[in-house]
Amino acid sequence: LLTVPLLLIELILVMSLSRSETVSRATSLGLAALLMVALGYPGEISASSGTRWIFGLLSLIPFLWIVFQLYS
């Protein structure tokens, strides 16, 4: 649960950004990663394929936002 947010925060820390931008990006990306994992977990443990798809697509939203933020 913690590895994805911590890896994103570590990535931000090595980018040599200003202190305020580092704090802002680390906070937003860390929270988005936590949301992504939290939304994906119910789909992971569900036996229903419909539930898996719903939570898989819901967890895709923060994932795409993270990718957009990293490449912008």
Model pLDDT for residues 53-66, shown as the tens digit of each residue:
999 999 999 999 99
CA distance 66 to 51: 23
CA distance 58 to 49: 14
Question: Residue ranges of the domains in the chain?
Answer: 3-71
pLDDT, tens digit, 9 for 90 and up, residues 24-71: 999 999 999 999 999 999 999 999 999 999 999 999 999 999 999 989
What is the 3 state secondary structure string of 29-72? HHHHHHHHHHHHHHHHHCCCHHHHHHHHHHHHHHHHHHHHHHHC
CA distance 56 to 63: 10
